[in-house]
């Protein structure tokens, strides 16, 4: 077998009060400023993620399953270093060069999964997305009944950058809940809380308004663990009846109706990436 190439070992924003807001179109604008790119050999998992094939973790799994090859030879390690993706195939198909990173805002409706496929046959976001989009990946997840802003991208590295806790991108939510809770209890969440052995980080929570035993609560957090908001509010004795993510970083869904998509302008995306904290270097 020919040798492989070199290897190396303060107050949250509120969503619209109306359900029929007019859509303001977000057309991409041209920009001549190039995005910064790393030079020299890079790990194949990173290159494939940049090309939008899958996340780094999924690519590592695909390599372990023998689905990725270089010049016809099946790769055995995600530490393979390459200058580009020439000669790389996934499931026998050549990989197209990475396109420029793009980002879309999608108002995910309640009642669909943030997944490509559900064995139980439940609808997914890909059943709700409008036609004409390239292959996109969700940034983080929203559970089945949670609605609101879900970012989508064609770039695996951008997806990873937005999801890493170390970049501290703030996610904002509004929750309608049933039960009794005080502002003092909500403010204690700023110190974090441990629930059934899982530690949840600081959450900025404010009681927006109350009607009888129903209330609206605004929350801001940076970790976004699985079902974090629902579990934390349940820990306080509240039953969440509606949960909406209103923003992710500077991006909001204020001009979108459920099921609609708007693309983030390239210049806006470039400026935002310049503000992100650099993730730790993987050795």
Cβ burial, residue 47 (10 Å; 0-12/13-18/19+): buried
Residue 228 structure tokens: 């974090």
CB 253 within 8 A of CB 148: yes
Q: Tell me which of 143, 180, 204, 255 is the catalytic residue.
A: 143
Looking from the CA of 275 toward its CB, the CA atoms found within 13 Å total 11
255: Cβ contacts below 8 Å, ≥ 6 apart:
21, 22, 23, 24, 262
Q: Does residue 255 carry a catalytic annotation?
A: no
> Strands 42-43, 81-82: parallel, antiparallel or unpaired by DSSP?
antiparallel
Active-site residues, by number, are 143
């Amino acid at each position: 077998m020919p040798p492989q190439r070199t290897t190396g070992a303060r107050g949250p924003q509120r969503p619209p009060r109306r359900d029929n807001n007019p859509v303001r179109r977000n057309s991409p604008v041209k920009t001549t400023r190039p995005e910064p790119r790393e030079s020299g050999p890079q790990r194949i998992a990173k290159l494939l993620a940049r090309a939008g094939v899958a996340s780094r973790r999924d690519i590592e799994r695909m390599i372990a399953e023998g689905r990725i090859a270089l010049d016809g030879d099946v790769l055995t390690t995600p530490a393979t270093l390459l200058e580009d993706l020439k000669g790389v195939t996934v499931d026998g198909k050549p990989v197209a060069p990475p396109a420029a990173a793009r980002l879309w805002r999608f108002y995910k409706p309640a009642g669909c999964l943030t997944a490509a496929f559900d064995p139980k046959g439940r609808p997914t976001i890909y059943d709700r997305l409008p036609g004409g989009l390239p292959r996109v990946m969700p940034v983080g997840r929203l559970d089945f009944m949670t609605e609101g802003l879900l970012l989508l991208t064609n770039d695996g590295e951008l997806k990873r950058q937005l999801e890493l806790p170390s970049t501290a991108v703030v996610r904002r939510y509004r929750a309608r809940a049933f039960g009794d809770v005080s502002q003092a209890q909500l403010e204690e969440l700023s110190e974090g809380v441990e629930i059934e052995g899982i530690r949840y980080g600081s959450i900025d929570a404010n009681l927006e308004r109350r009607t009888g035993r129903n209330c609206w609560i605004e929350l801001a957090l940076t970790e976004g663990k699985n079902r974090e908001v629902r579990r934390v509010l349940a820990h306080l004795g509240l039953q969440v009846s509606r949960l909406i993510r209103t923003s992710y970083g500077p991006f909001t869904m204020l001009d979108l109706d459920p099921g609609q998509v708007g693309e983030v302008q390239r210049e806006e995306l470039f400026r935002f990436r310049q503000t992100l904290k650099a993730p730790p270097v993987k050795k």
